[in-house]
Amino acid sequence: MRFVAVQDPTGSWAVFDTVNEEPAEFAGRVLIGLTSHEAQWLAAAANNEAGRRGADSRESHTGR
């Protein structure tokens, strides 16, 4: 998975982008200072979107 929910030392949560090795961004907001629920949900949504983009990219390269 590219995006993972991580807990920081203060107890809040963030979504980390494992490709860029930095906190993820969404709609101009850095995804830090989240609740566990928010971080888990946003990480799952980001991974779904990344998977969808990858599928679209593969289909355009194969001519499907």
Q: Return the pLDDT at 25.
A: 96
Question: Could you read off the pLDDT of 1-57 as tens digits, one per residue?
Answer: 999 999 999 999 999 999 999 999 998 999 999 999 999 999 999 999 998 887 655
Q: Return the pLDDT at 52.
A: 86
- Pull the structure tokens for residue 4: 């993972």
Using alpha carbons only, give the angle 41, 27, 5 rounded to the nearest 5 degrees. Answer: 30
Of the pLDDT bands very low, low, confident and very high (cuts 50, 70, 90), residue 61 is low
